[in-house]
Structure formats: structure tokens, C-alpha cells
Chains A and B, each alone.
Chain A
Amino acid sequence: MGTQLMKGGSAIAASAISAGCRFFAGYPMEPFTALLEGFSVQMPGAGGTCINAESEIEGINMALGASAAGARAATGSCGQGLALMQEAIAEAALNELPLVVFNLARGQQDYFQATRGGGWGDYRTIALAPKDAAEAVEHTQLLFHLADLYRTPVLLYGDYLVSGTYMSVDTSPRHYGDLAPKDWALDGTLGGTRRSRVIWTWRRGKVWDPGPGPDKHWQAVADKYERIAATEARHESSRTEDADTVVVAFGTTAPFVEYVVEELRGDGVRIGWFRPVSLWPFPELALAEATESARRVLVYELNAGQMIDDVRLSVTDRTKVVPIGRVSQDESGLKQGELLAVDAVRERIVGHLDPRRPAPGARSGRAGQRGA
């Protein structure tokens, strides 16, 4: 399979199937719908199952069941649908079932949802934010690998640009390393042998072969997420070595920032950019290093200030951190608005290069960001 022109949603589905995904269940909701359509068309040919579920809650619980039975399984929606899935995402984290969840979102307002989650318990989800459809194809296969490797739910956080754009992509299988066999998966065959299995968040095991129980199990899960945090942070950056100003952006907003930064470099401005590729684990150490000598760190995100919390937790001097984004949605509510444009990005960056001359309508601080 070589490179071919595909719509993002179809390409992600093809990539997931290449990764061995054989179960998908979802509920249509824009702009995630293209992915559901992609699975619906492609899954039967791969011998897998795609169910148009009665709700997002059922979709993710079906996928949990499929995962418990040993399949590579996935579900998805946009942020509104993922809100309904939070309980099951936490359940997958605590009973250690691999699961890939696609958030093809309506914008950048799901950062907290992607990185903090809304389920109960001490858990995290690896969350990757691709900058475009081609990277989403790559992330999809990596996520299936990471989900199995760590036995955890993982998230891909994209948007309508990822799901709806046609790009040349290579969806053929990628190998990220060998994995342990899923000897924990339920197939029924060990019944009556005293080796039968139980998958449960409390991890009590069987009376003749007790598990660690909730106290020890939940601490072990938390320890696992600490290990993931130490090893799975990913980022991309450029021009930060001698930069006075570093601009931080994630997802599909980042290429706009990158473009403007390169333009400003051409004008002689000492500026660089930094993109967290994994939102959790957030690349804290890399960002601290990239901003060590900068005088200001600008955060361009199209929401009221979410990723900025992680930026402030990462840079050594948090007073350098300035929000330059805001909520920006188009009239339909399904897409990003006027701030996803090179001119808007340039205006907001340039307005903050010299703090004595702020750009019109753009002030530093959270209150200014909301009012802008």
C-alpha cells in the first residue's frame, strides 16, 4: 500500500484497521461522522465489526467488551460525545483495558477533557494531538500500540481539519515493537480449570487466587501512569535556541503558528515555536528547556485558556507566560473561527513582542483574553 489521497476520516479508519482494529462502535456527530462512515465502509471487508450504537455511552461500553475479549477496539465522537464516555474511559483505565478513543472535535475547547478527564479515580489517558490528517494516520497506529503496551485507554484529539481534509497518506501497517500476549483477555476457555479470569476495577481476583484488591491495585495503576509520564511525552519545536519569544500551540493551530514564526524569523525577529504532540503526558521538561532563555512565552490556543495551565506548570518562570488566544468558533459551532488564520496569528504574536506596545484588543492576562 503506497501513498494515496484520502479524506482524513477514511484515512484514520484505514490506518486503524491496518493496526489490527477489528471492533468499532460509535454514534454519528459532526465532525466525527466521517470516521464512523470510514469504519462502517471498511470494517466488513476486514472481517471486523462496526456498530452504529444507540448512544455514545453504549458505543464505548461495546468497545470495552470487545477489548476485554481480546480485540483491538475503538470508539469516538466529538468532545460533546466524549463527555458522555468519561465514566467508561475511567473504567478502562482502572480495569486496565486497552482502548482507543477518537475525539474529532469542534475546536480546541476539549483540552481539559483530554488531559484531565471527567471520570472517577486516579487515572490518566495518553492524548495525542495531530497537526493534520497525515499525522493523525501515524498517531492512530501508535495509539493502538501504546494502548496495548500499557493496557490503558488512549485518546486522539483532532478536529474537522483532521477528519475532513483530503491528504496524501500512507495507511499501511507500522510496527512499533513487540507486545506481550493478551493472556488476560476473556475467551471462556479456562472455565472449570481454576485458571478462569475476571476483569474488574477492584482487581479482587477469585477466592482461590485473590488479586491485590482496590488499595494496592489503584496505587499500581497510578504508578503506571507515572512511568508513562516519564517516557511517553512527545513534542516538536524549532528556532527556540536563541529565541526571545517562544509561541506554544497544539493540534491544527500549530502549523499556522509555525508558518508565522518562520515569516517573523525572516524579518529578523528572534522567535521560536513549540508544539506539544502529546497533551498528556505534557512535554514539561522539553518545554522548560526550550523556554529557559526566552523572555516571554506566548500561548496560542483557541479556547479561554486551558493548555496554558500546563505551560505555566512547565516553564521555570511562570510570569513569562502570556495567553494570546481566545475562544474562536464559526457560526455553525462545528468549526474553529476567525482566529485560525495566518493574519490573526501574526497580529496576536506581533502585538505581544514588545510589551510597551500591545496590539489593539489583545491584552495579557486571563481577563484580557476572555474579553478580547
Chain B
Amino acid sequence: MINTDVPPAEPNRRIAGFSPELLVTEEHPLCPGCGHPIAWRMLLEVLEDLSLESRAIGVVGHGCYTHIITTTDIDFLQCLHGRAPSAATGVKRVQPDAAVFTLQGDGDLVNEGLQETLHTAARGEAITSIMVNNGVFGDTGGHMTSTTVIGQRTKTSIDGRDPDRHGFPIPVAELLCHLPGAAYVARGAVNTAPSIARTKKMLRRAFELQAAGAGFTFVEILTMCPTGWFVPAKDGGDYLSGSMEAAYPLGELKGG
């Protein structure tokens, strides 16, 4: 609740008018309408809110989001495709007081690295794994991943993903819920203001639980990829609601 009895400590400002201190430049090479920068921003705001700037170590996979490592003022290990949870395990065991997180896309985490994500969760490693899921290999220009939803057109499922030909997508968050080592599993999105607010809370909760030693924490964030979806940039948000969000329900799935 806003207390209207005392004057505000600082003047009103528009959210779009500032960016997190940890983000050294707002320039990025991503496409118009891309959802990843919103996810970055939330992540950095949460690290600042929790005063984790000088304790955070990011372990990053391969995808468009990889650019965060050069523009953000925290320590990063850029690792091999799909191996971030394993590398993060090594980092965390050596630096147990650090806030260790992975940042991976759906191609990195579900295609290339599903095994390491499941095993890292099963071990209950106290890391926070963040998956930016746009259901497509954006970096290569729009190819099918293991989370591409049924009916989605990609360059390798040009008539739409068909279960008979391409199999079914993998809901990794739901899979993780079955593992006792996974303390917190949630799925958010960045296509609407309410979803952004809720997702930021999920990230905050995940880092709080990591600090408490609760175990493996996982936040999936549905992001727009208009380029990879072959839709106009301005339509990305609505398209996400109708496709990804319908297949991957939002909310805290475990440990909320």
C-alpha cells in the first residue's frame, strides 16, 4: 500500500525511464519484439533487490540470450551447449555462498541438456535454473525445439508441428516437479504487465530459496520470438498467449 500521508522519497519515474545498475548498456543485438531482454531485466532487478550483486555467478548456455554476459556487470561462465547445470554444480560446490544461476533457452536446456537439468535437480543442487522458453531455435533462425508446441510452424516443421511426424513437446517444468530435489518450480511469461510482475516474484522466490539451501530452483519464462515464429514483432505478445501459454500453464507449480 502506498502511504499518502508522507511525501514520496523520490520523484515519480516511468519504469521505461531507468534500467538496472548491473546492466551497463541497454544496447543489444536482438530482434524487435524479442522477449529475452525483459527476462534479463527482471533477473537483474531481482539480484539488485536481494543485494546479490557481489555474490552472483551466472552460468550461461548458447542462444540469443548469451549476449547478457558482455553487457552485464556480474561474473559469468559461458559454457558448452546444454551443460550449464553441470558447470553450475561445479561452481556452486566450490563457491557455496555465491548465488549461482543458469540462464538457458529451450534448445539449450530441453534439447541439448535435459539430462543434466534432471540430474542436477535430482541432486538438489542449490542453484537457480532459469529457462527462457520461446519454443524455437531463435539463434539459428527458427527451427523446431523440444518445446515447440503442436501446430507451430518452424523451418524444420514447416507445415506445423505434427505429433505423428515430430513427436510431442516436453513440459520440463512439470517433469521437474516429480523430483524431490527440486524445491521450487514455476513458470512465468513476459508478454503482459501482470505476467511480468508475477514472474519477477517467482525469480525472487527462487533466489531466496537458493540462499536458504532449500535445493534446486527452476523458473521457466515464456518469451516472444516473432522472428522465429514468422509473425510481425507487434503481434508477438498475443501470439504467445494463444500458442505457448495454452500449452504451458503459468504459475507456481511446486514449492510456492
| Contact of A236 with B by CB under 8 A | no
| Contact of B53 with A by CB under 8 A | yes
| Contact of B234 with A by CB under 8 A | no
Closest residue of chain B to A64, judged by CB?
Answer: B87
Tally of A interface residues using CB under 8 Å: 47
| Contact of B214 with A by CB under 8 A | no
10 contacts between A and B (CB under 8 A): A58-B86, A58-B116, A65-B90, A69-B90, A69-B95, A186-B75, A188-B54, A192-B73, A194-B73, A198-B76
Nearest Cβ on chain A to B44's Cβ, whole angstroms? 10
Q: What is the CA–CA distance of A22 and B96 in the complex, to the nearest angstrom?
A: 13
| Contact of A204 with B by CB under 8 A | yes
A49–B57 CB distance below 8 A: no
| Contact of A162 with B by CB under 8 A | no
B69–A200 CB distance below 8 A: yes
Taking CB atoms and an 8 Å cut-off, the chain A residues in 164-212 that contact chain B are 186-194, 196-202, 204-208
Q: What is the CA–CA distance of A61 and B95 in the complex, to the nearest angstrom?
A: 16
| Contact of A29 with B by CB under 8 A | no
B70–A62 CB distance below 8 A: no
Nearest Cβ on chain B to A70's Cβ, whole angstroms? 6
| Contact of B50 with A by CB under 8 A | no
Q: What is the CA–CA distance of A12 and B189 in the complex, to the nearest angstrom?
A: 50
| Contact of B79 with A by CB under 8 A | yes
Chain B, interface SS category: mixed
| Contact of A163 with B by CB under 8 A | no
Q: What residues of chain A have their CB less than 8 Å away from a CB belonging to chain B?
A: 22-23, 25, 49, 51, 53-55, 57-58, 61-71, 73, 87-88, 91, 95, 186-194, 196-202, 204-208
A198–B87 CB distance below 8 A: no
Q: What residues of chain B have their CB less than 8 Å away from a CB belonging to chain A?
A: 21-22, 24-25, 27, 52-57, 59, 69-80, 83, 86-95, 98-99, 115-116, 119, 123
Partner of A186, one of B25, B77, B99, B123: B77
A191–B53 CB distance below 8 A: yes
Closest residue of chain B to A211, judged by CB?
Answer: B70
B115–A68 CB distance below 8 A: no
Q: What is the CA–CA distance of A73 and B54 in the complex, to the nearest angstrom?
A: 24
Hey, which chain A residues are within 8 Å of B94, CB to CB?
22-23, 49, 65-66, 69-71, 73
Do A61 and B71 contact each other (CB < 8 Å), given the known contacts A88-B80, A198-B76?
Answer: no
B116–A54 CB distance below 8 A: yes
Do A207 and B71 contact each other (CB < 8 Å), given the known contacts A58-B119, A190-B54?
Answer: yes
B91–A66 CB distance below 8 A: yes
Closest residue of chain A to B93, judged by CB?
Answer: A49
A55–B78 CB distance below 8 A: no
Do A54 and B119 contact each other (CB < 8 Å), given the known contacts A66-B90, A191-B75, A199-B78?
Answer: yes
